Amino acid sequence: MLGLLLSASVGAQTSDSLDWGKDDSWGDDPWAADSQGWQWFGFIEGAWAERINNDPLLDDDQTVAEIRAQLETERVFEDYTVVAKADVWGDALEDNTQADLRELHFDTTLGEQIDIRAGRQVLTWGTGDLVFLNDLFPKDYPAFFGGRDNEYLKAPTDAIKLSWYGDLSIDFVWLPRANPNRFIAGERLSCFSPRQGTHVAAPPKLDPIERDALIDDSELALRIYQTVNGVEYAGYAYKGYDKQPSGFNTQQNKAYFPRLEVFGASIRRSAFDGIVNAETAYHGAADSNGDDPNQPNSQWRFLAGYEHEPVSNLTLGWQYYLEWTQDHAALIRSLPQDQTAFATDEYRHVLTNRLTWQLLRQDLTLSMFTFFSPSDADYYLRPRAEYRISDQLTGTLGGNVFGGEDDWTFYSQLENNSNVYARLRYQF
């Protein structure tokens, strides 16, 4: 398996880079500039996730059944750094071997204040804890809901990132083609379809119209931030496409990714013996009037959070999140009568709570993350226990539990995907 991973990583590097050959006219070997050479890291992990409830739409009782290996390498040269990270895993549910190149980028500087990162990378920003307002970089929700490690919530993307550091710092990201979420397509997890008025799963899987044209389907993201007297301020802008296939093309009878523009701001500071944060974002949809039932309406989104450590090794965090759908009355009027019950509320409220408790000299970590929506009357629970058996070996038990009153709200639609999981990881 490690051999396959090495092959996948090396193959991706050679196919996307120039082949310098063995021409001595290039002078000294630039790869020999650092005497420490390549640094190697990685892990091997077995993971199993079993459904709590029976899902009549899917044959498998498991959401994850795999043995995975990850290999990461890094090397620092005089003027730049090269990083590569790849996963390969044997998937018992698919009965095959799969691979994913998560990172392959080089970092360098222009002068003393500008950094450049180009290639495949994992990007994130914003102040929310598992709640995203201005972070429009791709997520992997089947991995997150299915029982894989939290690191797999953030999906990789191909991008060029420029960072300018000063009293006022700027991050500018260009994605040459749109990078959507790895969304629920019906293969491992089922969901509710308002258009069909029932739960759906593959086959057929959700197959939206892709936004994969180089340059024409590119996306731009900007963050401007500064810290003043211990207070972090940030402003955000994004121009691209919805990360979810939230639109529907009636001519092709297919879902698609509508255009999306986002503007927002955030603030974070220490207060009340902890950390407080607030964030807002305006998600501007292409349908400015809000009366097109085949694409989502614009939304204002708000977040307020507080995290503190009341006693040693115990951390508590709370968040309040609001989605305010614009032109809601026009949306309701535009929907077919048999779909109005499934429409989102004008105001969707979500409360989250994170509890993390470290015991046994911090070898044991117990945590619980809860999502509860009083407007939708549904919830999502994420209990987890992680025990460090040794410096290299870690075991994890946890679950993803969904529920609610109605079949079609955000969390309750996933009730049949509720699962418990176990993972054992060896790091090297």
Average of per-residue pLDDT across 128-149: 98
Domain ranges of the chain: 2-13+37-427
Q: What's this model's pTM, rounded to 2 decimal places?
A: 0.89
Tens of pLDDT along 347-404? 999 999 999 999 999 999 999 999 999 999 999 999 999 999 999 999 999 999 999 9
Secondary structure of the chain in HEC code, one letter for each residue: CHHHHHHHHHHHHHHCCCCCCCCHHHCCCHHHCCCCCCEEEEEEEEEEEEECCCCCCCCCCEEEEEEEEEEEEEEECCCEEEEEEEEEEEECCCCEEEEEEEEEEEEEEECCCEEEEEEEECCCCCCCCCCCCCCCCCEEHHHHHHCCCHHHHECCEEEEEEEECCCCEEEEEEECCCCCCECCCCCCCCEEECCCCEEECCCCCCCCCCCCCCCCCCEEEEEEEEEECCEEEEEEEEEEECCCCCEEECCCCEEECCEEEEEEEEEEEEECCEEEEEEEEEEEECCCCCCCCCCCCCEEEEEEEEEEEEECCEEEEEEEEEEEECCHHHHHHHCCHHHHHHCCCCEEEEEEEEEEEEECCCCEEEEEEEEEECCCCEEEEEEEEEEECCCCEEEEEEEEEEEECCCCCCCHHHHHHCEEEEEEEEEC
Whether residue 319 is predicted with pLDDT greater than 80 in this model: the reply is yes
Whether residue 26 is predicted with pLDDT greater than 80 in this model: the reply is no
Domain covering 2-13+37-427 assigned CATH 2.40.160.10 in the classification: yes
The pLDDT value recorded for residue 1 is 38
The pLDDT value recorded for residue 4 is 40
Count CB atoms within 10 A of the CB of residue 165: 12
Q: Please tell me the number of Cα atoms within 13 Å of 223 on its side-chain side.
A: 23
Average of per-residue pLDDT across 301-315: 98
